[in-house]
């Protein structure tokens, strides 16, 4: 009797865990992916000064990395492509910003990281 009860409880626990796991995965799919570590390191150093909640109006309207997790997957893909275009042209980070923050300039390797993003 006791063992039947025990296995019943086990089944219920497994069922609940599976359900939580599946719904978590679905949520992730809708919301798109997190930014990989190598890209986010560069973004944190060179982009979030403007492209974040505490950044400037125009910049955060176009791209806000603080809201990244809330962007749908297709929007994330578009932004990732756009970011590579901007950094490979050298228009992001803006020249005026680099003048004041020379450390924010992207090396060719870092631009490659954006290409492979
Ligand atoms: C000094 C502030 C500043 C920094 C730093 C900065 N940006 Fe921007 N960014 C802007 C502004 C302002 C705009 C909107 C005006 C524009 O499109 O030129 C913008 C626009 C953009 C856009 C949209 C362009 C378009 O035409 O839709 C992308 C993509 C972008 N930035 C990527 C980046 C990336 C990637 C970095 C870091 C490597 C970065 N930015 C760093 C200020 C900044």
- Under the banding of pLDDT at 50, 70 and 90, the label for residue 71 is very high
The lowest-confidence range among 3-7, 69-73, 74-78 is 3-7
**Ligand 1 within 6 A of CB of 89:** no
How would you label 82-113 residue by residue, b for 16+ Cβ within 10 Å and e otherwise? ebbebbeeeebbeeebbeeeeebebeeebeeb
Q: How far is the CA of 68 from the centre of ligand 1 (A)?
A: 15
**Ligand 1 within 6 A of CB of 60:** no
Give the residue whose CA is nearest to atom 42 of ligand 1.
59
Q: What whole-number distance in Å separates Cα of residue 112 and Cα of residue 73?
A: 22
Q: Please give the pLDDT value at position 9.
A: 74
pLDDT in tens, 5-21: 777 777 777 676 676 67
Instruction: Please state the pTM of the whole predicted model.
Output: 0.79
Please state the domain extents for the chain. 1-31, 34-115
Q: Please give the pLDDT value at position 42.
A: 97
Q: How far is the CA of 26 from the centre of ligand 1 (A)?
A: 31
Q: How far is the CA of 74 from the centre of ligand 1 (A)?
A: 19
Q: Please give the pLDDT value at position 30.
A: 59
The phi-psi region of residue 17 (left if phi > 0; otherwise alpha if psi is between -120 and 50; otherwise beta) is alpha
């Amino acid at each position: 009797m006791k063992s039947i009860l025990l296995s019943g409880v086990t089944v219920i626990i497994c069922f609940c865990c599976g359900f939580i796991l599946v719904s978590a995965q679905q949520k992730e799919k809708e919301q798109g992916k997190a930014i990989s570590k190598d890209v986010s390191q560069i973004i944190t150093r060179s982009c979030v000064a403007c492209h974040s909640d505490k950044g400037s109006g125009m910049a955060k309207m176009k791209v806000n990395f603080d809201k990244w997790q809330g962007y749908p997957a297709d929007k994330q893909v578009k932004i990732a492509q756009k970011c590579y275009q901007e950094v490979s042209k050298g228009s992001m980070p803006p020249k005026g910003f680099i003048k004041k923050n020379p450390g924010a300039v992207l090396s060719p390797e870092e631009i490659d990281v954006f290409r492979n993003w």
